[in-house]
Chain A
């Protein structure tokens, strides 16, 4: 059974600091996704990572994928309050069925 684990599950950090969220998955997969969810809202697609060594960046967020280690990271640079949200990684299984991690609830304090 494919399992996806994120850590940490909760992260409180100060504006301006850097931090990394980790996503481990248990079996091989074709693609890995990162989504953002604001409280009470739906999921917003951030990144799709397709191959080993893939790196994508958007603003202060950068995602990478190591398929050999079955590990993806989401790095936050110089955090700002607007990045406070819950971040999910998800791995494709079968015909694009997504298996999600538990989510990392990120709070950025002024």
Chain B
């Protein structure tokens, strides 16, 4: 098992464009989480899946954000009409008792 993987690792986009990130969790984990981390801050919870069901969403997750986990395996996080304030590191985690984090996708919106 190679741990949680995320793709891409870096993304630069222009304001107003749509972006999509992918997360592949550790295979036996049915819980998957998305967090966002801005510079100098701790990660903030965005959303959580158990298998394919999205069970909780943060108020941070505006209507421009959507997350899916269609087959209960990998997950995608899409941001529509990106804004400069969306620039951050987007972290995916999976786990049971302990959450194991992926390497993150660093997004820069110009």
Contacts and interface: CB of A to CB of B under 8 A. Distances in A.
Interface of A: 4, 31, 33, 35, 41-45, 48, 88, 90, 94-103
Interface stretch (B14-22, B65-73, B77-85, B98-106): B98-106
B104 A42 contact: yes
A95 B100 CA distance: 15
Q: How large is the interface on B (under 10, 10 to 19, 20 to 34, 35 or more residues)?
A: 20 to 34
Nearest to A35: B101
B43 A43 contact: yes
Contacts of A95: 31, 48, 50, 55-56
A69 to B, nearest CB: 21
Interface in B24-42: 31, 33, 35, 40-42
Interface string B4-20: 00000000000000000
Given A100-B43, A101-B42, A42 B101 contact: yes
8 contacts: A42-B103, A43-B91, A45-B99, A48-B98, A94-B56, A96-B48, A98-B43, A103-B41
